Amino acid sequence: MTYPAPRMLIGGVWCAGETGRTQAVVNPATEEVIGQVPLAAPGDLDRAVEAAVAGFAAWRATPVAARTAILRAAADLVTARADRIARVMTLEQGKPLAEARGEALRVADALRWDADDARRAYGRIIPSAGDTLLSVRHEPIGPVAAFTPWNFPAGSPMRKIAAALSAGCSIVIKASEETPGTAVELARCFQDAGVPDGALNLVFGEPAEVSAHLIASPATRLVAFTGSIPVGRLLAAAAGAAMKPSLMELGGHAPVIVCADADPVKAARRAAFAKFVNAGQVCTSPSRFLVHESLVAEFTAEFVRAAEAVVVGDGLEEGVTMGPLANERRLKAMEEFVSDAVSRGAAVLTGGHRLDRAGYFFAPTVLAGVPADARILLEEPFGPIAPIIPFDDLDEALAIANSLPYGLAAYGFTRSAATAERLVTGFEAGILSINHCGGSVHEAPSGGVKSSGYGKEGGPEGLEGYLITKRVSHLLED
């Protein structure tokens, strides 16, 4: 299969940008240009917003049972086309084909969940004065402007699209220019399932230009973003200036605490597996490993064994378990993190370098003896580097874990129910896993605290952000 030519979807029509501007799409495993993605001009964005306004009118008027049926049909198409979607994803993002296929199948299930949950967006009748009927109703907020990154080319766009369309909203989504093909494949599934023209619009473009234009548009009623904290702050400020609500799923620097009573081998294997998924390019990736000093030697030895067992290569090749980083920028960032840590006294136990081959490949890396002022412990690495730090007191470990402005995910390992509860109450994070490093699930909410954002995706809470609450007081008269 060759890489399909990306296009934008505006008002039900697949199109290039009106100025003809494009940006190269690069296969990160080969560094070869595999396509050109069109970049939207202001006129394209205006047409997309106009289409979303018309699409919203048609979609919100569609009975919820009919909306659910259409969205479930779209989910079935995603499932049926999972192999194709996965191959496109691997070509443009690099993750192993099995990971990509798993992502496609998960987003289909997430869409089914949201579509069904829309049928449970209940209002209520409130007892009041005898001549008044008092009720609360939930209605779609309106056209949504959404922005998603490259690390999960299906997962990130689908979270926004599924919640918006299930709630009865329309959406203009700007997916990543680095991974446009996957978003195009998803949009085709919705179009082929019968979503009305204009209810879903897909654009690409210069991020700052597109976000400023869409957020400033009077027709946009909600801003939804997944990405870095610095960009999230800018978009949230722009939305706030326009008095528009926003949902922000931002970065993390997830701590892992391995308590004195944990099984160090199991903890190391489970943590290492999670660390190297998607080459560590996951907002919730475990990235600071705090291990009780009595277990640190055994934990570290097992973690190094797991890291050295990772098969790095082109995601299309059989047996590969970790693909390349997304781009040259990420490679340079990894080199800088390692260099900084080593200059401050850290030891590289395995990896620590880019691979000597074409493509943006970096060896799975484990660091020991990392001082507290090393950049790898202060900044989100977003790559396959694992710093291991010993501790001797759980309160000390929690203080270190909570010392950063991040608060997205956290992980703990213990065989004590009492200690597990200390971790649950002690971690400052919106997502917490005990004795494993679980990822996001569609039936439960995900989201951060502190600088890692606000609002939720997944579960009933994920739909709430796309709804308004309307109080109705009806005086009953003859």
Range of the domain at 206: 8-250+451-472
Query: In this structure, are 150 and 31 located in the same domain?
Result: yes
CATH of the domain at 379: 3.40.309.10
**What residues are labeled active site?**
249, 283
440 close to 446: Cβ distance less than 8 angstroms: yes
Query: In this structure, are 140 and 198 located in the same domain?
Result: yes
Rounded to 5°, the CA angle 346-351-352 comes to: 55
Query: In this structure, are 35 and 106 located in the same domain?
Result: yes
Distances (CA, A) of 158 to 114, 116, 183, 285, 439: 10, 15, 8, 20, 16
% pLDDT > 90, the chain: 98
DSSP SS3 for 393? coil
Task: State the average pLDDT over residues 270-280.
Answer: 98
Q: How far apart are CA 274 and CA 342, in angstroms?
A: 24
Query: In this structure, are 217 and 94 located in the same domain?
Result: yes
Counting every residue written for the chain, the total comes to: 478
Query: In this structure, are 334 and 287 located in the same domain?
Result: yes
Query: In this structure, are 65 and 197 located in the same domain?
Result: yes
* pLDDT, tens digit (0-9, with 9 covering 90-100), for 167-184: 999 999 999 999 999 999
| Residue 267 in this model has a pLDDT that exceeds 80 | yes
Examine residue 2 and state whether it is found in any structural domain, yes or no.
Answer: no
* pLDDT, tens digit (0-9, with 9 covering 90-100), for 338-358: 999 999 999 999 999 999 999
Please state the domain count of the chain. Answer: 2
pLDDT category of residue 130 using cuts at 50, 70 and 90: confident
Query: In this structure, are 152 and 266 located in the same domain?
Result: no
pLDDT category of residue 138 using cuts at 50, 70 and 90: very high
* pLDDT, tens digit (0-9, with 9 covering 90-100), for 194-240: 999 999 999 999 999 999 999 999 999 999 999 999 999 999 999 99
Query: In this structure, are 315 and 423 located in the same domain?
Result: yes
Backbone angles phi, psi at 382, to 5 degrees: 55, 50
Examine residue 90 and state whether it is found in any structural domain, yes or no.
Answer: yes
Q: What is the pTM of this model?
A: 0.96
Examine residue 1 and state whether it is found in any structural domain, yes or no.
Answer: no
pLDDT for 472 = 96
Rg (CA), the chain: 23
Query: In this structure, are 267 and 405 located in the same domain?
Result: yes
pLDDT for 2 = 87
pLDDT category of residue 76 using cuts at 50, 70 and 90: very high
pLDDT for 478 = 72
| Residue 1 in this model has a pLDDT that exceeds 80 | no
Q: What b/e readout covers 275-302, taking b as 16+ CB neighbours within 10 angstroms?
A: bbbbbbbbbbbbbbbbbbeebbeebbeb
Query: In this structure, are 263 and 378 located in the same domain?
Result: yes
